[in-house]
Amino acid sequence: MRLIFDAHLDLAMNAIEWNRDLTRPLDEIRQREMHMKDKNDRGKGIVCLPELRKGNIGIVVATQLARYTPFGSALTGWNSPQQAWAMTQAQLAWYREMEALGEMVQIVDLQGLEAHLRLWNNPLQEGEKLPVGYILSLEGADSLVDVPYLHHAYDYGLRAVGLSHFGPGRYAPGTKMEGPLMPSGFELMREMSKLGMILDTTHLTDEGFDQVMDFYDGPIWSSHHNVRKIVPNQRQLTDEQIKRLIDRGAVIGGMLDCWAMDIRFIDMVSDPWQLDIRLAHLVDHWDHICQIAGNSRHIAIGSDLDGIFGTEQSPWDLNSIADLQKFEAILTDRGYKDEDIDNIFSQNWLRFLRNTWK
């Protein structure tokens, strides 16, 4: 099996807020939740550490995620930035516990990345339980109480930041919003640039995207984003945005949330099987980006497969995250060569990080 690098998983959010023991087998996690009704995806989870290993998914970008919700907002979130920060610290504590168990290992620089790749490419013995490598990313910057908090986060290993998530944000408005970045967003980007941090464009408004691309002089990626030409809503990338990302050497991770793959899908209403939404639908999005780029060097996986949804909102031919390996046959059937498949599975993200961290 080819090594897979998945650039967007909300592992700690699932462990802490969903109370999932991600060290356990997937069937056991689902059975524990069989009679629970508090979340739409109860009993339908897709991601756990054993399934990551089963799918040879050796490296992930794992998030901290805690949104601040201003008074009067209908969105769920924390009522103060301090509470949001505290939640991200609980999530960090979970990652540290996974490291203590040997389940995960944090990657913060090129030396650590190369050492982790050597481990996964040359295990000491057949069937050895290898730690999943993770690069820490902050999805939405709301939890940074003020800009100096960024330096504390960098010290504990944070290496990528997205300014926004859903709705209004303290540094930038996000998905389903319009408008520019906040002044604090520019201040945060200045500090990110000094630290050489990766800026994730995912969830920005169109105006915010343009401002980020014009202002930020550090590395940029788009961890989990699909194509607006196929799914015409503000959450997806326009052709012009795709061109700008390609010009900056960015990589765009394709996501497997059905509403980001097929315009017919309405979350919490539609059924992936009835609409026949398959893994192959994502290849349509990748094809589109490849046609713009003229090559396969700017597409990859950013599955978001635990992003507040499970099998009820993902392709029907995917039962667990290990099924990402099915993309090899799908891409081969679509005419992608071995080198292209390697690019999509891991090499594009690895090349990006080697260039960023060299």
Per DSSP, what are the bridge partners of residue 301?
A: 6, 254
- Mean pLDDT along residues 2-31: 98
* Per-residue pLDDT reduced to its tens digit, 312-349: 999 999 999 999 999 999 999 999 999 999 999 999 99
DSSP conformational letter for 131: P
* Per-residue pLDDT reduced to its tens digit, 69-88: 988 888 889 999 999 999 99
Four-residue CA torsion sign, 50, 18, 87, 217: positive
Q: Could you tell me the two tokens for 114?
A: 């190369």
Q: Confidence band (pLDDT; 50, 70, 90) for 123?
A: confident
- Mean pLDDT along residues 126-131: 82
Query: Which of helix, strand or coil describes residue 64?
Result: strand
Pick from 177, 170, 255: nearest CA to 209? 177
Q: Which pLDDT belongs to residue 70?
A: 87
With 80 as the cut, is the pLDDT of residue 358 above it?
yes
Please check whether residue 61 is in contact with residue 350, taking contact to mean a CB–CB distance below 8 angstroms.
no
Phi, psi of 270 (to 5 degrees): -80, 165
* Secondary-structure class of domain 4-357 per CATH: alpha beta
Q: Which pLDDT belongs to residue 227?
A: 98
- Mean pLDDT along residues 244-259: 98
Round the average pLDDT of the chain to a whole number and report it.
96
Q: Confidence band (pLDDT; 50, 70, 90) for 124?
A: low
* Per-residue pLDDT reduced to its tens digit, 138-187: 999 999 999 999 999 999 999 999 999 999 999 999 999 999 999 999 99
Pick from 257, 272, 337: nearest CA to 302? 257
**Cα distance between residue 311 and residue 305, in whole Å:** 9
Q: What burial class does residue 64 get, using C-beta atoms within 10 Å of its C-beta: 0-12 exposed, 13-18 middle, 19+ buried?
A: buried
Q: Confidence band (pLDDT; 50, 70, 90) for 267?
A: confident
Q: Residues, the chain, total?
A: 358
Q: What are the residue ranges of helices labelled H in 134-205?
A: 149-155, 183-195
- Mean pLDDT along residues 278-298: 98
3-state helix, strand, coil in the chain (%, to 5): 40, 15, 45
Q: Could you tell me the two tokens for 18?
A: 């969903």
Pick from 165, 197, 182, 146: nearest CA to 307? 165
Q: How far is CA 133 from the centre of its chain?
A: 14
- Mean pLDDT along residues 10-36: 97
**Cα distance between residue 9 and residue 110, in whole Å:** 21
- Mean pLDDT along residues 213-237: 97
Please check whether residue 265 is in contact with residue 275, taking contact to mean a CB–CB distance below 8 angstroms.
yes
Phi, psi of 162 (to 5 degrees): -105, 130
Pick from 20, 16, 69: nearest CA to 310? 20
Contacts of 264 (CB under 8 A, 6+ apart): 270, 275
